Amino acid sequence: MNFYAIKAIYRYEMARMFRTAVQSIVAPVLSTSLYFVIFGSAIGSRITEIDGVSYGAFIVPGLIMLSVMTESISNSSFAIYFPKFTGTIFEVLSAPVSYGEVMLGYVGAAATKSVIIGTIILGTASFFVDLEIAHPLLMVTFLLLTCVSFCLFGFILGIWADGWEKLTIVPILVIMPLTFLGGTFYSISMLPPAWQTVSLFNPVVYLISGFRWSFYENADVSVTLSLAMTVGFLLVCLGVVRWIFKTGYKLRT
Amino acid sequence: MQPIISIKGLTKTYAGGFQALKDVDLAINKGEIFALLGPNGAGKTTLINIVCGIVNMSSGAVLVDGHDIVSEFRETRAKIGLVPQELPTETFETVWNTASFSRGLFGKGAGPQHVEKVLKSLSLWDKKDTISMALSGGMKRRVLIAKALAHEPEILFLDEPTAGVDVELRQDMWNVVKALREEGVTVILTTHYIEEAEQLADRVGVINHGEIILVEEKNKLMREMGKKELMLHLYDELAEIPAQFGNYDLELSEDRRELTYRYDTKGEHTGITDLINELRNAGIRFNDLQTSQSSLEDIFVDLVNKGQ
């Protein structure tokens, strides 16, 4: 295994994050804080509790997931798209590295950034609400799985995209609606029965529900199913990335 | 001696149906400077990109130092450095960081002394903390060479290395290439500046329409395919070339004061002595003479035109 290459890519990507710290870290923390102010305070004054948890505390897991998912996609898609755009990808393609090593470098760095952001948001939330984490290990597991899965998804997106519009269209038109409709700000049990059924087709529901269960032990779907869905998504993304590197799709002509 | 790069039956057909390489056979010797010449679209960059792993071949086999480029890609790619034709650089990274990144990517641990040596040899040391975006085109070209040399490759591909650089920088780069050869690095360069190949190359390959037309030692090529001309400045105007000189390849200038004789350098007899004797016998006097030899560029143009 080419550890030096993994380290080089990882360090390069992490340096990029610290070089753009305001955009990478401060911006998502600020936007999440605004969510707390708007949803937590404004709506929280009308909805006091959901399943025995104060509304402000209830939305914390969903907000962390919202930020982690969008940042994971954004970071990893940009990380691989920008070298394609500038042409510097030739160096990675001509280097003695396997697809797994390239992925470990790029996705590892993007996932690290997402975990840092998730942790900062968790810390920020503790200033607004009283937090309890019933199952810390499971919470970390869900966080890591989500970060890695969505970084892989972003990586695929970055390879697929052949323009800036394509790079942004999926996060805006697909991921953002799925996240907002995935129970970030509400429990799907609050929806009419028909919409509850529709919501079960939204994969983000399972991620948020499982993550929330690790905090408050209440969930919209079973935690085992949530975990299975998250691992399933991870495996699908891994399979697609493997296929991309095997075939050279959009990378090698 | 086993060639350091051995290419057999290499073909490449792109998705659109364009056949960029047609059954190419080529062997590059260890430690030589090999110039691959060809007009635009001849297949030079495709050939390089396949050996480096950037483009997938359609069929054929490529060995680098005895290793297959597909099944043993780690061994082959670690030996190769590539300077591409374009100028893709990490826009926001410093020269030092980008060279160090390349070294790591190619499987080498931190080597600040080597990176320093490379940057100094390319006159980049005082720019080591400058970000690539702030560099001129010529400096970016140097950075790309530094990146390619950062992992101490045994083989260096230079795809149009001096395109768009000034004369001074070109001379610097030629010196770097010569120094690399002294260190035993095999250099394969493609270039539009035939003068570059003439100055640097040990052997020359000409590719056109995806086929290798010729591979030859440069000096031998110039000796065998080159033609020489003898120009005689006549003392008096000559109305026409007398019929008795029909056996000689002679041409009279428009002002009728210069006679040009073309002769083959590889022939046993150039015919110069006989011509001069016959001119004297015919009373045609001259007051000056000079000779010139066709350049590699003339030979290249001849070869490519024959292939059209």
B183 found inside a domain: yes
CB contact under 8 Å between A5 and B89, yes or no, is: no
Indicate the residue among B191, B222, B253 that finishes a domain.
B222
Whether residues B122 and B268 share a domain: the answer is: no
Low-confidence winner among B75-79, B207-211, B300-304 (lowest mean pLDDT): B300-304
CB contact under 8 Å between B55 and A252, yes or no, is: yes
β-bridge partners, B217: B203
B281 found inside a domain: yes
Tell me, what's the pLDDT at B2?
Answer: 75
B280 found inside a domain: yes
Q: How far is B55 from chain A (nearest CA, A)?
A: 5
Tell me, what's the pLDDT at B306?
Answer: 66
Q: Which secondary structure element, helix H or strand E, spans residue A134, and what is its range?
A: none
Whether residues B172 and B246 share a domain: the answer is: no
CB contact under 8 Å between B103 and A8, yes or no, is: yes
Closest residue in chain A to residue B105, using alpha carbons only: A5
B159 found inside a domain: yes
Q: How far is A20 from chain B (nearest CA, A)?
A: 11
B307 found inside a domain: no
Whether residues B255 and B128 share a domain: the answer is: no
Closest residue in chain B to residue A19, using alpha carbons only: B92
Low-confidence winner among A220-224, B79-83, B267-271 (lowest mean pLDDT): B267-271
A82 found inside a domain: yes
Do A75 and A222 form a contact (C-beta atoms < 8 A)?
Answer: no
Q: Residue ranges of chain A with pLDDT lower than 70?
A: 44-45
**Nearest CB neighbour to B108, from listed A4, A15, A248:** A4
CA distance A162 to A253: 14
Q: How confident is the model at residue B267 (pLDDT cuts 50, 70, 90)?
A: low
Whether residues B205 and B191 share a domain: the answer is: yes
Contacting residues for B41 by C-beta, under 8 A, at least 6 apart = none
How far does CA A132 lie from the centroid of its chain?
Answer: 22
State which residues form the domain around B44: 5-222
CA distance B214 to B206: 5
Whether residues B145 and B66 share a domain: the answer is: yes
Query: How many domains are contained in chain B?
Result: 2
A253 found inside a domain: no
Q: How far is B107 from chain A (nearest CA, A)?
A: 5
Rg over alpha carbons for chain B, rounded to the nearest Å, is: 24
Residue B186's φ and ψ, nearest 5 degrees, are -85, 130
Check residue B178 and report its DSSP letter. H
| DSSP symbols for A149-215 | HHHHHHHHHHHH-SSHHHHHHHIIIIIHHHHHTTTSSS-GGGS-HHHHHHHTT-HHHHHHHHHHHHH
A252 found inside a domain: no
Indicate the residue among B165, B199, B222 that finishes a domain.
B222
Whether residues B39 and B182 share a domain: the answer is: yes
The Cα diameter of chain B in Å comes to: 78
Tell me, what's the pLDDT at B33?
Answer: 93
CB contact under 8 Å between A8 and B89, yes or no, is: no
Low-confidence winner among A72-81, A141-150, B184-193, B260-269 (lowest mean pLDDT): B260-269
**Nearest CB neighbour to B88, from listed A4, A9, A90:** A90
CB contact under 8 Å between A95 and B105, yes or no, is: yes
Tell me, what's the pLDDT at B80?
Answer: 94
Tell me, what's the pLDDT at B281?
Answer: 87
E strands of chain A, at which residues? 49-50, 53-54
Would the pLDDT of B185 be above 80?
Answer: yes
State which residues form the domain around A44: 3-247
Q: How far is A166 from chain B (nearest CA, A)?
A: 22
Q: How far is B89 from chain A (nearest CA, A)?
A: 6
Q: How confident is the model at residue B8 (pLDDT cuts 50, 70, 90)?
A: very high
Tell me, what's the pLDDT at A157?
Answer: 92
Whether residues B274 and B172 share a domain: the answer is: no
CB contact under 8 Å between B77 and A86, yes or no, is: no
- Cβ-in-10-Å burial (0-12, 13-18, 19+) of B255 comes to exposed
Tell me, what's the pLDDT at A251?
Answer: 75
Whether residues B284 and B198 share a domain: the answer is: no
* Average predicted confidence (pLDDT) for chain B: 86
Whether residues B9 and B158 share a domain: the answer is: yes
- State the average pLDDT over residues B245-272: 82
CA distance A234 to A145: 7
Whether residues B110 and B172 share a domain: the answer is: yes
Q: Which pLDDT tens digit goes with each residue over A45-57?
A: 677 777 778 888 8
Would the pLDDT of B308 be above 60?
Answer: no
Residue (of A215, A221, A220) closest to A189 by Cα position: A220
Q: Give the domain CATH number at B282.
A: 3.30.70.100
Tell me, what's the pLDDT at B295?
Answer: 66
Whole-model pTM?
0.79
Residue (of B154, B173, B69) closest to B108 by Cα position: B154
CA distance B285 to A67: 93
Higher pLDDT, B295 or A246: A246
Whether residues B165 and B18 share a domain: the answer is: yes
Higher pLDDT, B110 or B150: B150
**B106 contacts in chain A (CB < 8 Å):** 5, 95-96
Tell me, what's the pLDDT at B226?
Answer: 63
- Asked whether the ipTM of the predicted complex exceeds the cut of 0.85, the reply is no
Q: Characterize B172-187 residue by residue with b for buried, 16 or more Cβ atoms within 10 angstroms of its Cβ, and e for exposed.
A: bbeebbeebbeeebbb
Closest residue in chain A to residue B58, using alpha carbons only: A253
A27 found inside a domain: yes
B-side interface with A, Cβ within 8 Å? 14-15, 52-56, 73-78, 80, 82, 84, 86, 88-93, 97, 100-109, 147
Identify residue B170 by its one-letter amino acid code.
R
Closest residue in chain B to residue A6, using alpha carbons only: B105
Range among A234-238, B214-218, B250-254, B264-268 rated most confident: A234-238
β-bridge partners, B207: B212
Indicate the residue among B175, B200, B222 that finishes a domain.
B222
Q: Which pLDDT tens digit goes with each residue over A153-194?
A: 999 999 998 888 888 888 888 888 888 888 888 888 888 888
Q: How far is B27 from chain A (nearest CA, A)?
A: 20
CA angle (A59 as vertex; A56, A64 as ends), nearest 5 = 125
Tokens of A18: 């610290």
B302 found inside a domain: no
Whether residues B139 and B258 share a domain: the answer is: no
Query: How many domains are contained in chain A?
Result: 1
Q: Which pLDDT tens digit goes with each residue over B32-50?
A: 999 998 888 888 999 999 9
Best of B105, B115, B144 to substitute, by most chain A Cβ atoms within 10 angstroms, is B105
